[in-house]
Amino acid sequence: MSVRIRLTRCGRRNRPFYRIGVFDARSKRDGKSIEIVGTYNPIEADPEKKYSINEERIKYWIGVGAQPTDKVKVILKKKGII
């Protein structure tokens, strides 16, 4: 089974909010996740509140072989996890 760490969209129209989740690679963008490991709010002005990430679980899933998407890689690099 191929596992990906990717974003799933929440929030209302013109006010996006994303959850960072661990998904089976074959599932839909907003499909059922294996685990939610963080959130990303692109509208938030305060950089401390923009990302909320469970670093321990992210490191676990990457260690097990989960592949983050390009956008999630950028977020993880900004937080210093990768």
Beta strands at 3-12 and 35-40: parallel, antiparallel or unpaired = unpaired
pLDDT of 57 reads 94
pLDDT on residue 60: 95
- Terminal-to-terminal C-alpha distance of the chain: 23
pTM for this entry: 0.87
Residues 6 or more apart from 37 whose CB is under 8 A from it? 5, 20, 21, 22, 53, 54, 57, 58, 61
* pLDDT attached to residue 69: 94
Q: What is the pLDDT along the chain (82 residues), one digit of tens a residue?
A: 689 999 999 999 999 999 999 999 888 877 888 999 999 999 988 888 899 999 999 999 999 999 999 999 999 998 888 8
What's the pLDDT at 29? 77
Q: In the structure encoding, which two tokens stand for residue 58, read together?
A: 């992210």
